[in-house]
Amino acid sequence: MDLPDEKGAPSLGVLTNPQVLSFERFAIRTRGGSTTQSAWRLSITCVEGQGAILFIEISPEETFYRGEGVFLGWSQEQLAASYRLLLPKSEEPPFEIPQLG
């Protein structure tokens, strides 16, 4: 399992050469939930094996992550930080509002 660095922030130090295989959205149902919701699945491969991080947003205030494969057993903080680090970057330029005047 990954350990936090000296500042307490999780890192991907235990994964060698992680590469994103896919990033996809899919429908899920949670226990006790009566509606179908969306989740994001970030699948990766690395020297240690394959795995995925699922990001589930129940509401704007309630989100959680689930680890599979090499991410199994990681804490919510480790999964959140790893998800952000591995998330594919947009190829579109950032939206900018031109300054007029």
Structure token pair of residue 92 = 């579109």
> Looking at the predicted structure, is the pLDDT value of residue 10 above 90?
no
Does residue 76 sit within a domain?
yes
Asked whether 80 and 59 are in contact (CB, 8 A), the reply is no
Q: Residue 10 domain-assigned?
A: no
Within a domain: residue 7? no
Domain assignment of residue 8, yes or no: no
In the structure, what pLDDT confidence band is assigned to residue 88 with cuts at 50, 70 and 90? Answer: confident
Q: Is residue 9 in some structural domain?
A: no
Tell me whether residue 45 is in a domain.
yes
* CB neighbour list of residue 15: distance below 8 Å, 6 or more residues apart: 2, 44, 46, 47, 48, 70
**94: in domain:** no
Note the pTM of the prediction, 2 decimals.
Answer: 0.73
**Domain extent at residue 41:** 19-86
Mean pLDDT, range 60-73, rounded to an integer: 92
Number of structural domains (the chain) is 1
Domain assignment present for 4: no
Average pLDDT over every residue of 39-63: 92
CA nearest 39: which of 5, 70, 63? 63
